[in-house]
Structure 1
Amino acid sequence: MIGYKSIMTALLAILAVAPSAPAPQQNLNAQKNIEEIFNTKTNSLASQISGIGLVVTPEPLDDVSTQKVFNSISGKSTSCNCVPYYMCDPSTNSVTEDGSFDGFGVIDIRFNADDPVCPASVDVCCADNKTRNVTLNPTPLNQRPNQPRGCGVRNTGGLDFALSGVTQNEAGFGEFPWTVALLHFGNLSYFCAGSLIHQRVVLTAVHCVEAHGPGTFIVRAGEWDTQTTKERLPYQERTVQTVIKHPQYKSRNIANDFALIVLSERVVLDDHINVICLPQQEAIPEPSTTCFSTGWGKDVFGSFGKYSVIMKRVPLPIVAFNTCQSRLKSTRLGPKFTLDRSFICAGGQRGIDTCQGDGGAPLACPIGITSENRYQQSGIVAWGIGCNDEVPAAYANTALARDWIDQQMIANGFGTDAYTA
């Protein structure tokens, strides 16, 4: 997966601007184009068993066992203990000091890397004299000097460890702490993403939740690798109390694709879970600004694509509105296509794109001084033409909904300080 863009059936009528033709034939042609461009004939079974839904049942730390003299995937044996990284002393001495370290070095996520290799992404090959039977915790971020506080702080490179072997824009653990996953309640299969803007409120796209009632899905914050539960800091799941949809949302072209999910309980903020800042009304980033979209969407468009295991971060340049509209007109949408003003565009570089499966995911852009690594959410993944093509994707323009979001937050007794930089 290079990225992830959800293409939803709500785009069906967007082709109503097609040249005039006899009504029956026009409808048939439009429907054919819709199915080809937006992949509206989805395989519901495949979507239910893919991606994050395969995550295993959490293991208590006391039950995490070591694997002595394990066999790596290349068939060679080596003498070490295969343990989660936080149970291997990162210090140069055999005895851990006072725990005032800030990380565990580098972990290689290439599953065919040089020996020794452990089975899970968070496991390391640890020598006997460095293996511990307790969790080693780096100094919490809020106890470190000069650590930025508040919304939108990106943990650049990730928490705990640096990644090597990154080939598909994998994000570091806890690097974008506002990104959450939306999961079907019954089987925990992944269907969309969102962003935490308050301990009880998630921002996402209407097209993600319009067919899902509050009791049909849950929100998971703090997820990273969907195939393991061994991360040092665990994810948190919350049920949904209510969903608030923008009153001017239009299903025919996904205009005003803004929705708020109110959680039944607060999410507890931690190093790997935090809220993102929101832009002021009408505050649109300059063209060419490099922003990041994050989530677990597919690598290829359509039923053949596979959902990601580890969260991805896709760098995307902002594209000017008129430029974006012109590029879209050059596609099968045709020269009469008009892009709704509620969208902002980003991307347009071949091989680097958002893709199917992560509608509702945040598009986060840098703000403030560089040293703070602070971001605000300028867009919400909405739709696009295929994946990884030289055509920008359309994102719901969050800056146009800031006033509406504020009104809903105040009306529900939450306030706006959490996401105000």
Structure 2
Amino acid sequence: MRLLIYLMGYTLANVLAILERELRSDRHRRYLGLGRRFKINRRYQECVGPGDLPGHCKHPLFCAMNVVGSSKNPVEHLCVIEKTFVGVCCPDDILLSNIVGSRIIMDLPAGGEDYDEQQNFTMGCGIFIDEKPQQSSAKEWPWLASLYDPETSKPFCGGALITDRHILTAAHCTEGRTPSDMRVRLGEYDYARPDETRARNFEISEIKEHEEFELSTYFNDIAILTLTNATGFNTYIWPICLPPLNKNYVNETVIVAGWGQISYSGNTSNILRQVEIPVWEHERCADSFVQTINEKTICAAAYEGGRDSCKGDSGGPLLHQLPNGRWVIIGIVSWGIGCGQKGQPGIYTRVDSYIPWILTNTIAK
């Protein structure tokens, strides 16, 4: 009733114009979800969406389907947000609705803290569509990307899917390469069994290395790959969330995964492997190396040695699960001295130090 009163005297053209202003204003606010606890995908009051699907009122830009365009009578699915904005009734389970024109995720890359705790895990980044597998599989880490040589089909680096077209990786993985020198594989688990999963291969249209990347020191070791074609999302392929800013991970247990060498100077792995490791205090890490360890890095490995990333894991994500259940990429495998040596952890590019750069080279384009 309040919505009808609010819209009384407005024609459909007026309402659509209001929505368009909402879209434009929200585009300028898309970055705020990473700078503070602005909820990009916040759900407001319950409502009934197109197709009589249960949903919640949301800002139009942040609904994963075109509610107005898919409705015979768009006014029926409009709502008011906090007595200020015109929203749309966005179905909760777009992934399951099979409505023409719907998309699983519209606002990417997204921050892991943009979602409430225990929010229904049917949408958004950093989640498992099926229940989390009990053993390692492609479904366990659906955001893992493998970078491989198209001539040999052998992987040489890893990466992480952050939108339907962007892979976050290490700049040293792309140094000296052109887009035609590389391919990206998503949804892979076992390279020795090509028909095991729904893996998909993608060509690359652009490589964007950080402008201040230094090959001699690996400072600013971060790059973004743009896929020629956008990927769809399923149980094998799903985007990871970006991390909150300035969070302290010291002594937190994190996970690194990839197809790298099983041991130093050993063979690379055909199957996706993972290991749990703790994050080190920065001062303790810096004291372990002759090289400069700057504040834009994270150090992680087993204190006793033996558990670490290795050659071939470069560019892959260092993963952490937030209290709300979302997985975020807090680091990118960068470099180390050997693999698994006691007293010398692996060095990871700290992702939250580069979030403005990531946004500039993804959603700002």
In 2 relative to 1, CA 407–146 (structure 1 residues): closer, same or farther, beyond 3 Å? closer
1:213 matches 2:213: no
- Specify the alignment match of 2:319 in structure 1: 364
- Specify the alignment match of 1:6 in structure 2: none
Shift in Å, 1:323: 1.3
3-state DSSP of counterpart to 2:162: strand
In 2 relative to 1, CA 340–146 (structure 1 residues): closer, same or farther, beyond 3 Å? closer
1:341 matches 2:295: yes
- Specify the alignment match of 1:376 in structure 2: 328
3-state DSSP of counterpart to 1:401: helix
Q: How many residues align?
A: 250
In 2 relative to 1, CA 157–173 (structure 1 residues): closer, same or farther, beyond 3 Å? farther
Check the 8 A contact 1:155/1:175 in 2, yes or no: no
- Specify the alignment match of 1:403 in structure 2: 356
- The equivalences for 1:5-404 within 5 A come to 142-143=95-96, 146-154=120-128, 158-159=132-133, 162-163=134-135, 171-231=136-196, 233-280=197-244, 282-302=245-265, 305-328=266-289, 333=290, 337-349=291-303, 350-369=305-324, 372=325, 374-390=326-342, 391-404=344-357
In structure 2, how many angstroms separate the alpha carbons of the residues matched to 1:157 and 1:238?
27
The amino acid of 2:313's aligned partner reads: D
Check the 8 A contact 1:285/1:378 in 2, yes or no: no
Shift in Å, 1:153: 1.4
Check the 8 A contact 2:202/2:228 in 1, yes or no: yes
Shift in Å, 1:174: 1.1
3-state DSSP of counterpart to 1:215: helix
Q: TM-score, normalised by structure 1?
A: 0.56
Deviations 1:345-393 (A, max 9, x none): 1113321111111110000111133xx3x21111000011111112211
In 2 relative to 1, CA 402–357 (structure 1 residues): closer, same or farther, beyond 3 Å? same
In 2 relative to 1, CA 248–143 (structure 1 residues): closer, same or farther, beyond 3 Å? same
| 5+ residue gaps, structure 2 | 1-92, 98-118
More displaced 10-residue stretch of structure 1: 219-228 or 312-321: 312-321
3-state DSSP of counterpart to 2:361: helix
In structure 2, how many angstroms separate the alpha carbons of the residues matched to 1:401 and 1:183?
25
In structure 1, how many angstroms separate the alpha carbons of the residues matched to 2:216 and 2:351?
19
Check the 8 A contact 1:342/1:397 in 2, yes or no: yes
Shift in Å, 1:408: 1.4
- Specify the alignment match of 1:18 in structure 2: none
Shift in Å, 1:285: 3.5
Q: TM-score, normalised by structure 2?
A: 0.64
Check the 8 A contact 1:384/1:392 in 2, yes or no: yes
The amino acid of 2:284's aligned partner reads: T
Check the 8 A contact 1:245/1:258 in 2, yes or no: yes
Deviations 1:209-265 (A, max 9, x none): 01210111100000001111232x410111000101111111110001110000100
In 2 relative to 1, CA 284–315 (structure 1 residues): closer, same or farther, beyond 3 Å? same
Question: Percent of counterpart pairs with the same letter?
Answer: 30
Check the 8 A contact 2:121/2:129 in 1, yes or no: no
Check the 8 A contact 1:202/1:262 in 2, yes or no: yes
Check the 8 A contact 2:122/2:129 in 1, yes or no: no
